[in-house]
Structure 1
Amino acid sequence: MNERQCSKVGCTREAVATLTYDYGDQMAALGPLGAANDPQAQDLCLPHAERLSVPAGWLVLRHEALRA
């Protein structure tokens, strides 16, 4: 099994995106699935990537390739 699963608890879908945070700059970056399984990042399936929410005042950078 080479595919990575979504990091959300109870989700068994295949991950298609990687989410990283920069707490100092209050920013989240969501892009295509990273090449390596980074323990500091979360892998997300498409439904969870589309429904991503962050704390009020945070900036979310979304890679255009993820948009339908």
Structure 2
Amino acid sequence: ITKKRVKVTVERADVCVVPAAAVIGESVVAFELANALIEKFGGDSISEMQRNYRGYLKYLKQR
């Protein structure tokens, strides 16, 4: 240890939170979209949900 003075850089740690928050936000949005799809087209299986969704699209075309 020389005790020689050196210049240090100051780095803000809070800027590192933004990318992590974006990943969390994306996951929350995906989760809520999935919940909305389940609520609207739900069934006992994914294939039943897909059938309900296709039926809904067909219904919209007829309107």
Q: TM-score, normalised by structure 2?
A: 0.21
Higher strand share: 1
Higher helix share: 2
Q: Which has the larger radius of gyration?
A: 2
Q: TM-score, normalised by structure 1?
A: 0.20
